[in-house]
Amino acid sequence: MCINRSNIAHALAIALVILHLSVARAQENPLPEGFIGRGIAQISAGDVESARQQALMDAQGKALLEAVLARVPLDVMEKNILLLKKNFFDKSAAYIQSFKIVYENTSFDFYQITIQALVQQELLRKDLDTLVFVGTQREPRKVLLMIAEKMNGSNDFIFWWAPGSAAKIPESELILKEKCAEKDFIVVNPLQTMKEPPVPSPYFYPEPDIETVCRIGALCGADIAIVGRAEIERSRGTDAASFNAFQCNLKATAISVKDRKVMVSAATYGLGVNADEVIAYRSAVDKAGRQLLNQIADKLLLLPH
């Protein structure tokens, strides 16, 4: 009987992926601090240090495997397992930003080690797009933005779902819309999509309830609604200076329109300094918006699309 070794290796690799996928899916709440990798290596001729290094490399590969599983469907994984192994799992150190050892021990003739690793998500995404998803059409998420903005010294928020003439899209939401394209989000325009304005009552709050948000999101054909508030204040001590300084405090939640539940939450701030008041303001909002979307996009990677 002729045994094809490449087929055996291929089958074993797929079996390993399926095994780790089942373990990953069993963890309902993946750790936000990073991906867990459990490595093991046999201790040969009493060389514990070499076994430890091999186990550590194995753990890094397992952690990267978890990160890839968050991005790549299982059917695509199975078709490209050898490509993934060669270009990603065997070169996991290139994608591991940092890690900490949470457990290590020797058991009989084996060295076991568990790490918690932070992965360079943007680098991983670009390389996966180039090597795995090239030519594969992926549907981007459609996002509804609902950002209420308040300047320091004002008691009122500005937001587009406000009643009557008070309705206005704040500048912070327009800047955030520009940043969404960098994360492959398609921003829907509710004012063009909705044939009728929202009815009174809960729609008119700066942060409406989930049911209200999902009702608007469904009318607009959105997958996700990013709801939050931007509070912008002029930094103190700059009144007599020759420059302007602003701080934008931005917090938001990403809500699944279909499931009617909060997916992720994020909060950040940005500082802007410039002689021109408008440029300083936009710089503060730009920095806060970029950081907010980075947080949301990274957390969404841990959730099924």
* Residue 260, phi-psi category: left (phi > 0), alpha (psi -120 to 50), beta (remainder): left
Pairing of strands 261-274, 244-256: antiparallel
228, pLDDT greater than 90: yes
- Where does the pLDDT of residue 242 fall: very low under 50, low under 70, confident under 90, or very high at 90 and above? confident
Alpha carbons 177 and 182: distance in angstroms, whole number: 10
Cα–Cα nearest to 146, from 230, 211, 269: 230
pLDDT digits (tens, 9 = 90+) for 8-18: 444 444 445 54
Half-sphere exposure of 120 (CA within 13 A, CB side): 13
Share of the chain above pLDDT 90, in %: 37
Helix spans in 27-166 (H): 48-69, 74-79, 81-87, 121-131
What is the reported pTM?
A: 0.56
Residue 78 tokens, joined: 């199975």
Tell me if 142 sits within 8 A of 186, measured CB to CB.
yes
Instruction: Provide the CB-side half-sphere exposure for 97 (13 A, CA).
Output: 11
Q: What is the mean pLDDT of the chain?
A: 81
pLDDT at 287: 92
Residue 27 has pLDDT above 50, yes or no: no
pLDDT at residue 104, as a whole number: 95
The CATH superfamily of 5-131 is: FlgT, N-terminal domain (3.30.1660.40)
116, containing H or E segment? strand 110-119
Domain residue ranges in the chain? 5-131, 141-300
For residue 163, the model assigns a pLDDT of 74
pLDDT in tens, 64-109: 999 888 888 887 888 788 888 888 888 898 999 999 999 999 988 9
Q: What is 141-300's CATH superfamily?
A: TolB, N-terminal domain (3.40.50.10070)
